[in-house]
Structure 1
Amino acid sequence: MRTVDAAGLPIGDDHPPRIMGVLNVSKESPYDPSVYDDPGEAAAYVDEELIGEGADIVDVGLESANKRFEVLTAEQELERLDTAVETIDSVSGDAVFSIETRYHEVAEAALDRGFDMVNDICGFADPEMPRVCEEHDAAVAKMASPPDLERPGAVEEVDDIYEALSLNGFTDKTIVDPAFGGWSEAKTLDHDRETFHRLREFRGYARPILVSINRKNFLRSIADRDTEGALPVSLAATSMAVERGAHVVRTHDVAETRDAALVGKAFARERVRRGGDVAVEELDVTTAGDARRHVDRVGGDPAVAEAAVTRVFEFDGLDPEELGALRAATAESGALCVANEGADAALLVGTPRSLVAAADAASGVTEALDAALASVDRPTE
């Protein structure tokens, strides 16, 4: 996993989770506490509510990316840039300042006038964006999106998110964002939940991950909360996201999110090991899907992923014939069956590939065993 230097702020596995606070200078933005059009008031908010509460990065939005609103042109965004620049010039605290935009012209103007970083919500749909960021040696968060400047984040199938992130390549300082939220009519809450469940897969690009999950609908609906009451579910998800490998958390609730992120980091596995001159990283792989992303990255055979993960299942209520069938099947498949003599329970241990072979070999003994094996015979995702 590479570390990205964002204007002197290191982002990666070896470093604390970074908190990105949000400031909007757009009256369309739906979350009122973060919206300001007066530079002095905006700067006070940044100093007190964002940097003062632990934000490492301040992300400044010039327009709302909500699909309900008309998309501004680059020229219209540039008309609002003065307020953003005046704001960061008036801030006394220390932070990395990010400009949220989809246009390379706006990114270039912002970087020329004091911004440090870009948050590209259209994921390099503007093909000039990577060049601008590279020429300014700027970190850039790249959100998964189709190649359309008017449809940020509108990737409609979870399986397509990973590929969308590769649109127009990467810079050396790219941070990937899997685009949580209702960016299109076709995207459902279930899509967001599946994306969160598969968050480790996005480590397959070996680049830092940004998540924007604060008070999102897919979390609110779990606990039946409105936006105002959704902070607890956001904090629970923040800890889980960081434990699963996220490096930057974008939020309106800086102090609380910082604490939740630190808890997630404290209980995350130690991924980077020290092996002298040879770098060693334990890859965060829990499913064959996770493994497949890393295998693809190094140009390996995707079939290897089926042998890269070990799963453990406990079977209870086995009769002697069923237990004997499991033992015989695992002896031939490469899986393991662990059980005491006379027991009616057993552990079935193996790779997805060996478990499929064991299930095939043990089938046909009893309907009950067949049904049990059917529930675990292809644990590939």
Structure 2
Amino acid sequence: MRTVEIDGLPVGDGHPTRVMSVLNMSSNSGYKPSVYLDPAEAAEAIEENLVPAGADIIDVGLQSANPKYESKPVEMEKDRLEEVAPLVDELDADVPLSLETRYAEVAEEAIGHGFDVINDVCGFADPEMKGVVEDHDMPVVKMASPPDLASPGALKTIDDIFEALQRDGFTDKTIIDPAFGGWYDGKEFEDNWEMFRRLREFRAFDRPMLTATNREDFLGDLADQPETENQLAVSLAAATMEAERGAHIIRTHDTRETHDVVKVADALGDERTTRPETDSGPTVAELTDVTLREVARHQALGETVAGGTDDGATLTFLLGDVTDDARASLRAVAEVTDVVVVEKDGGSLYVGGSAAALKVVTDSLAEDGHRELAGELRTSLSRRV
């Protein structure tokens, strides 16, 4: 995993999950408590509220990326940047500042004003953006988007998102953002749910990942909470799962609550690596709950030098109500396929092995006449494909 440092703050495996607090300096925002139009008031909010609440990074927005608001031209953002730039000098708190934009010209001016990371909501749609951040050795968040400056994040399927992130490549200091959201034309709640379930697949990019699902309607819908002000609980539930599934930065309007959530997730969740990449020596990062689709993503973004997709995911299941004949058949085939079988006191069976080996097991069970058990196991395997 590539570690990216933001003004000395390391982001990546082996480091705490970082909290990025939203500070909208535009009146166009779907969540008014995060809006601060005056630089002095914004600096006060950062120092007295956001940093004490646990903010690791502050993300400053000059216009909303939500397509329900008309996209503003580069000239407006440049003028607004000049108005809010005093924030950098007025701020006493030692916290990195991110500037959300889609324009390379605005990014370059923001770097000159002292911002520490560029949050590109159009994913290098501006052909000059990549060169600007590379020339300044600047960390950049690349949000998955079509090559259209007026349509940030307007993608529907997970394959579209992978393709968009790969388009035009990355800098050495790129952080990826899969672009969640329920308000894009053609993108339904179901598309966001599917992407969330498959969030681990984005680990194949081997780069730090930012997620921004806070107070999104696709989460509120699951709990029958359509109003933004009632979506704190669903946002925190999602943040816990995002940290577990590979997010390194959680972007949020609710700093204190999200800070507490990621502290628990980091302390009690799966350990990703033996040591931070910034330390010398080899590292080993365990990837948990790997699906065949995730293996295929790693293969697509690299070169497979040994083995196949089915060999790359070890899957485990508990089988219940298995007949004695089926148990005997399972034991026999497991002995020659490197599948682990453990008989539990309650009568269930713990079964684990590679997808390739488990497919051999299901075929053997079917041939021995245990078609119902083979069918159930195939169904479970297919869910992991």
Q: Deviations over 1:238-258 (max 9, x none)?
A: 122112221111111111111
Whether 1:228 aligns to 2:232 is no
Task: Please say if 1:356 is aligned against 2:370.
Answer: no
Q: Is the 8 A contact 2:295 2:312 kept in 1?
A: yes
Match of 1:210?
A: 210
TM-score by length of 1: 0.92
Structure-2 change in CA distance of 1:332 and 1:101 (3 Å): same
User: CA contact under 8 A between 2:119 and 2:140: conserved in structure 1?
Assistant: yes
With 321-330 and 194-203 compared, the bigger mean Cα shift is at: 321-330
One-letter code of the match for 1:289? R
- The verdict on how the C-alpha distance between 1:283 and 1:129 changes in structure 2, with shifts beyond 3 A counting, is farther
Where do 4+ consecutive residues of structure 1 move more than 6 Å? none
What are the superposed Cα offsets for residues 4-62 of structure 1, whole Å, 9 maximum, x if unpaired?
Answer: 11122211223222111111121111211111222222222222222232212111111
* 1:65 match: 65
Contact 2:31-2:228 within 8 A present in 1 as well: no
- Could you tell me which amino acid in structure 2 is paired with residue 28 of structure 1? N
Summarize the alignment of residues 167-206 of structure 1 with structure 2, pairs less than 5 Å apart.
167-206=167-206
User: 216-225 or 149-158, which moves further after superposition?
Assistant: 216-225
Partner of 2:375: 371
- Partner residue, 1:256: 257
Residue equivalent to 1:346: 349
The residue correspondences of 1:262-273 to structure 2 (distance < 5 A) are: 262-273=263-274
**Residue in 2 aligned with 1:83?**
83
State the identity as a percent. Answer: 43
More displaced, 31-40 or 277-286?
Answer: 277-286
The one-letter code matched in structure 2 to 1:110 is A
2: CA distance, partners of 1:227 / 1:236: 15
Residue in 1 that maps onto 2:245: 244
SS at match of 2:161: helix
Amino acid aligned to 1:171: T
State the Cα distance separating 1:304 from its structure 2 match: 2.2
Distance in 2 of aligned mates of 1:166 and 1:340:
46
Q: Distance in 1 between matches of 2:83 and 2:19?
A: 23
Any conservation in 1 of the 2:88–2:113 contact (CA below 8 Å)? no
CA distance, structure 2, for counterparts of residue 18 and residue 337 of structure 1: 40
Does 2:310 align with 1:306?
yes
Q: CA deviation at 1:301?
A: 6.0
Q: TM-score, normalised by structure 2?
A: 0.91
| Structure 1 unmatched ranges of 5 or more | none
Alignment deviations for residues 255-274 of structure 1 (CA, whole Å, 9 cap, x no partner) = 11111111111123333226
Distance (Å, rounded) in 1 between the aligned partners of 2:207 and 2:219: 25
Q: What letter is aligned with 1:369?
A: L
Question: Deviation per CA, 1:281-308, whole angstroms, max 9, x where unpaired?
Answer: 2242422222333344441169623212
Question: What's the CA shift for 1:2?
Answer: 1.5
Q: In structure 1, what is the equivalent of residue 99 of structure 2?
A: 99
Please give the per-residue CA displacement for 1:128-174, whole angstroms capped at 9, x wherever unaligned.
11111111121111111112111111121023222321221111111
Tell me the equivalent position of 1:165.
165
Which consecutive residues of structure 2, in runs of 5 or more, have no partner in the other structure?
none
Shift of 1:318: 2.0
Q: Which amino acid aligns with 2:327?
A: L
Q: CA RMSD in A?
A: 2.4
- Contact in 1 for aligned 2:271/2:286 (Cα 8 Å): no
- How many residues are paired up? 380
Equivalent position to 1:280, from 267, 279, 283: 283
Distance 2:250 2:340 in 1: 41
Deviation at 1:103, TM superposition (A): 0.7
Q: Which deviates further from its counterpart, 180-189 or 111-120?
A: 180-189
In structure 2, what is the equivalent of residue 317 of structure 1?
321
* Structure 2 partner of 1:335: 339
Find the aligned partners of 1:49 and 1:249 in 2 and give their Cα distance. Answer: 18
Change (3 A) 1:373 1:30: closer
Is the CA contact 1:359–1:373 (under 8 Å) kept in the aligned structure 2?
Answer: yes
Q: Secondary structure at the match of 1:281?
A: coil
Matches of 1:221 and 1:303 in 2, distance apart? Answer: 42
Compute the displacement of 1:210 (Å).
Answer: 0.6
Residue identity in the other structure for 2:313: V
How many Å separate the matches in 1 of 2:371 and 2:308?
A: 32
Cα deviation for residue 319 of structure 1 reads 2.1
**Contact residue 23 and residue 36 of structure 2 kept, 8 A:** yes
Change (3 A) 1:330 1:377: farther
**SS in structure 1 at match of 2:377:** helix
Query: What is residue 44 of structure 1 aligned with on the other side?
Result: 44
**1:347–1:182 Cα change, 3 Å:** same
CA contact (8 A) 2:14 2:274 kept: no
**One-letter code aligned to 2:166:** S
